[in-house]
Amino acid sequence: MFAVRDEEVALDVVQDAMLKLTENYAAKPVFELPMLFQRILQNTIHDHFRRQKVRSTWTTLLSALGQRDEKDEEFDPLETLAVSSDSNDLADPARRHQQAEIVALVEHALARLPARQREAFLLRYWEELDVAEAASVMGCSEGSVKTHCSRAVHALAKMLEAKGITL
């Protein structure tokens, strides 16, 4: 959804990726399927954008948008946060509403990230892949994944801070 910015297209892309996985890799061991699916999904997303660019010359690639930060920082603030499995504190309707508003702001901020940063961030923190797995899915080095994640985290923090949300 974040990659193609259209729910219907996102569903089509996921279905295409699932079909490719079942058609070409049904004989693979079960433990290899999630990584294969992630890679196929990313390739299908890239194919979607290639087709879209051919069909319409005015389409701008998402990776060309946004500002590039020249410094390569290894520190990743999200790595230091503990993951909490307790979600019972959302029983209060006011708290649920506040959480929904924050999630909407985060989704909006994610949509504004350059494609590679968004991809790295989502693979690492939402799909919970480690650096090596994310690098394999993205087809790049582990250092690139760390760089993209760091830049994404800092850009998201700036965008959310501008909206009054701090980590």
Predicted TM-score (pTM) of this structure: 0.51
Q: Which secondary structure element, helix H or strand E, spans residue 11, and what is its range?
A: helix 7-25
Region(s) of the chain under CATH 1.10.10.10: 95-167
CATH level 2 (architecture), domain 95-167: Orthogonal Bundle (1.10)
Residue 56 is classified by DSSP as -
Higher pLDDT, 98 or 55: 98
Q: Are 155 and 113 in contact (CB under 8 A)?
A: yes
pLDDT single digits (tens) 71-88: 545 555 455 445 555 555
pLDDT single digits (tens) 111-131: 898 989 998 988 888 787 888
When pLDDT is cut at 50, 70 and 90, the band that residue 55 belongs to is low
Instruction: Give the integer Cα–Cα distance in Å for 82 and 64.
Output: 33
Q: How many CB atoms lie within 10 A of CB 91?
A: 8
